[in-house]
Copies of this chain bind each other. A is one copy, B any other.
């Protein structure tokens, strides 16, 4: 995966692991714990304890062998590293079942990301979905330019994904989360993260004995 931005010590896999650690820490904290050990975090995320300690050192946090990591300040350090500060506008294109699921998820579970939704179906574009006005796709480029939106989620059918992504990039988008089961061909300065349900399911089928 080519990177749109290069951060010393941060690979996409590492950022993925940090997000996972954070989710586990939030769960552990909500369950009433104040501290955790690298081996506990490792078991929950199914990575090695050495990997956990190395990743958390990159974030600038180190635990003690005796009492482990204090969860609250660790979460603050992770938020700072991951840049979890202030709202981020996100363009969501395609409001079918998948788009609706993503929209609901962002609105209710992840208020940091503020979605603007687009669809070509006028029956959808006259409605407010999960508190978000859905705009006609004809307004996509102008809205992205005006609001300087840099991130988009592509939930359109496979046949539309390449064309839509090119329009997004032309309007200023530099990072795309792509749910369409096709490989997008875009300039290398665009960061692409693919979520492919069939790739994931094939992996599960392959490793299930």
Binding site for B on A (CB under 8 A): 1-5, 7, 10, 12, 15-16, 19-20, 23-24, 27, 44-47, 82-84, 88, 90, 96-98, 100-102, 104-106, 109-110, 113, 150-151, 153, 158, 174-177, 181-183, 185, 191-209
CB-based contact B196/A175 at 8 Å: no
The 5 A-B residue pairs with the shortest CB-CB distance in the complex, in nearest-first order: A175-B208, A98-B101, A5-B209, A97-B101, A19-B199
A136 to B111 CA separation, bound complex (whole angstroms): 33
Copy number in this complex?
2
What chain B residues lie within 8 Å of A201 (beta carbons)? 90, 106, 110, 113, 151, 153, 177
A38 to B162 CA separation, bound complex (whole angstroms): 22
Give the residue of B16, B46, B83 whose beta carbon is less than 8 angstroms from that of A205: B83
Given known contacts A5-B209, A44-B185, A205-B88, A19 and B196 CB-to-CB distance under 8 angstroms: yes
Kindly provide the distance from the CB of A154 to the nearest chain B CB, expressed in whole angstroms.
Answer: 11
CB-based contact B192/A200 at 8 Å: no
Can you give 13 contacting A-B residue pairs, CB < 8 Å? A4-B207, A15-B202, A16-B199, A23-B181, A23-B183, A83-B205, A84-B202, A97-B100, A109-B198, A113-B205, A177-B197, A193-B203, A195-B195
